């Protein structure tokens, strides 16, 4: 039996542990079991017949027959993710980019047009510019604001795809303003809110149609899994569910177990990430070896007012310019003792990336600079270490510049 909770009375931290309902698990276990199976058997041909008949009518009389369609560990994790986001439904994928690309593919139209906000994730940008044209679909990359989006709308536009905060400059979008534009033109809205997480922002409550997260990051929280999730209304997600069942980009049961376990500390971790992010951003902004800092919690950030109005916290990703050139920037990064040189974010360990080398090395210099990727741009993603230790490490490395 499940006792339904009034989810509005519970915080994201509580929802991450219990979901929208307290329920008994298999064998009365407290932790969600790992159901490591690829298929599910039937007792008789009559049971198969009844199952298929109910399935064709949209009814459920038992769980699915094949692992690409369903896994109990996956279902429990999706239930909790939906609760945190305030969504009717969540669909888990094998990675964040699987979630992004398949969500776009499920709703894009032939000869259509999709608007992407600029400063978006590198792979999303490449999909828009290099892959969509193969499907006779046009795209526009525009400034992350409602006016620029509305100006880019064409008669064949059907999707607005945004990120907030963006990567790497952490631009924060006025989500209600963009939703207003989308509704006026009857367009579908999607937002990649990975860097915000459901702890810091709830786009569905502002009228966004679909929210996407790379669960690899803050939701998993430990740098030990790859997963993605798309969330929204149950009926709207049915087309995406069918496409995923066909393609099979599902998250495995052990991945789902790790993700669901990570969610139990989600609230605690986000409190630390928000506090650490603001303290470190303030430290960097005041350092004489740092030219400029981008962090939504700083008053100097171009979208600070919007962030303050709609975000609970700024997270733990900070981008900044080291005073100097490529050589100076590399010296700073190599001098760090705690930070690991690697992409990604939202885990236990603090990470550092020189964006021009790690993410845009194959871009021509002119193309990089046109989108703001310069050699002295550094992005750090703080982990769960002591904030004073993080600052001390940054300070000693900057002293060597």
Q: How far apart are CA 167 and CA 158, in angstroms?
A: 24
Statement: residue 355 has pLDDT above 90: no
Domain-located, residue 40: no
Task: Look up residue 63 and give its DSSP letter.
Answer: -
Please report the pLDDT score of residue 176 as a whole number: 97
Mean pLDDT of the chain: 92
- Same domain for 286 and 364, yes or no, is yes
Statement: residue 256 has pLDDT above 50: yes
Please report the pLDDT score of residue 8 as a whole number: 56
Domain-located, residue 291: yes
Residue carrying structure tokens 């997963």: 227
Instruction: Please tell me which residue, 55 or 352, carries the higher pLDDT value.
Output: 352
Q: How far apart are CA 169 and CA 295, in angstroms?
A: 8
Strands 351-354 and 377-381: antiparallel
Give the number of domains in the chain: 2
- Same domain for 272 and 170, yes or no, is no
Which residues are within 8 A (CB) of 118 and not within 5 positions of it... i.e. 6 or more apart? 141, 142, 143, 144, 166, 371
- Same domain for 212 and 95, yes or no, is yes
Please report the pLDDT score of residue 400 as a whole number: 95
Element (H, E) at 91: strand 89-93
- Same domain for 233 and 297, yes or no, is no
The two tokens of residue 181 are 């534009």
Q: How far apart are the first and last CA of the chain?
A: 62
Domain boundary among 263, 291, 322: 263
Please report the pLDDT score of residue 9 as a whole number: 75
Please report the pLDDT score of residue 1 as a whole number: 30
The two tokens of residue 345 are 């974010």
Q: How far apart are CA 125 and CA 139, in angstroms?
A: 10
C-alpha of 128 from chain center:
18
Q: What is the share, in percent, of the chain residues with pLDDT greater than 70? A: 97
The two tokens of residue 320 are 């900044």
Statement: residue 5 has pLDDT above 50: no
Please report the pLDDT score of residue 6 as a whole number: 45
Q: How many CB atoms lie within 10 A of CB 324?
A: 16
Domain-located, residue 235: yes
Domain of residue 126, CATH code: 3.40.640.10
Instruction: Please tell me which residue, 168 or 30, carries the higher pLDDT value.
Output: 168
Domain boundary among 263, 294, 317: 263
Statement: residue 151 has pLDDT above 60: yes
Domain boundary among 247, 263, 279: 263
Q: 52: helix, coil or strand?
A: helix
Range of the domain at 100: 3-35+71-263
H helices of 34-93, where? 45-56, 72-85
Q: How many CB atoms lie within 10 A of CB 147?
A: 12
> Which range is least confidently modeled, 157-166, 288-297, 352-361, 389-398?
352-361
Rounded alpha-carbon distances, angstroms, from residue 280 to 93, 180, 276: 33, 35, 6
Tens digit of each residue's pLDDT (9 = 90 or more) over 36-86: 888 888 889 998 998 888 888 877 776 778 888 888 999 999 999 999 999
Statement: residue 117 has pLDDT above 80: yes
Tens digit of each residue's pLDDT (9 = 90 or more) over 196-239: 999 999 999 999 999 999 999 999 999 999 999 999 999 999 99
The two tokens of residue 277 are 């992010």
């Amino acid at each position: 039996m499940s006792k339904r909770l009034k989810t509005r009375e519970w915080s994201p931290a509580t929802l991450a542990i219990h979901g929208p309902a307290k329920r008994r698990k298999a064998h009365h276990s407290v932790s969600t079991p790992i159901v490591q199976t690829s298929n599910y058997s039937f007792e008789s041909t009559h049971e198969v017949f009844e199952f298929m008949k109910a399935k064709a009518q949209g009814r459920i009389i038992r769980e699915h027959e094949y692992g690409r369609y369903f896994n109990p560990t996956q279902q429990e994790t999706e239930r909790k993710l939906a609760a945190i986001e305030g969504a009717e439904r969540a669909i888990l994928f094998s990675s964040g980019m699987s979630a992004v690309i398949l969500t776009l593919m499920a709703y894009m139209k032939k000869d259509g047009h999709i608007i992407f906000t600029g400063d978006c994730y590198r792979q999303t940008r490449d999909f828009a510019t290099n892959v969509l044209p193969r499907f006779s679909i046009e795209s526009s990359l525009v400034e992350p604001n409602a006016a620029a989006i509305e100006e880019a709308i064409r008669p064949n536009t059907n999707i607005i795809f945004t990120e907030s905060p963006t990567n790497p400059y952490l631009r924060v979008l006025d989500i209600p303003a963009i939703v207003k534009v989308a509704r006026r033109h009857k367009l579908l809205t999607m937002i990649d809110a990975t860097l915000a997480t459901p702890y810091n922002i709830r786009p569905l409550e502002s009228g966004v149609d679909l929210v996407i997260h790379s669960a690899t990051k803050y939701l998993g929280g430990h740098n030990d899994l790859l997963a993605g999730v798309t969330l929204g209304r149950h009926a709207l997600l049915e087309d995406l569910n069918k496409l995923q069942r066909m393609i099979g980009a599902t998250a495995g049961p052990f991945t789902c177990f790790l993700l669901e376990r990570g969610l139990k500390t989600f609230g605690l971790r986000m409190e630390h990430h928000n506090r650490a992010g603001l303290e470190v951003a303030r430290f960097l902004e005041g350092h004489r070896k740092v030219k400029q800092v981008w962090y939504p919690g700083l008053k100097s950030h171009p979208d600070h007012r919007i962030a303050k109005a709609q975000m609970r916290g700024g997270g733990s990703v900070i981008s900044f310019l080291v005073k100097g050139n490529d050589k100076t920037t590399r010296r700073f990064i190599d001098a760090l003792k705690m930070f690991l040189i690697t992409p990604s974010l939202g885990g236990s360990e603090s990470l550092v990336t020189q964006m021009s080398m790690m993410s845009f090395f194959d871009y021509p210099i002119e193309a990089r600079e046109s989108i703001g990727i310069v050699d002295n741009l550094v992005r750090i993603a703080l982990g769960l270490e002591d904030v004073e230790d993080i600052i001390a490490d940054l300070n000693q490395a900057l002293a060597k510049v």
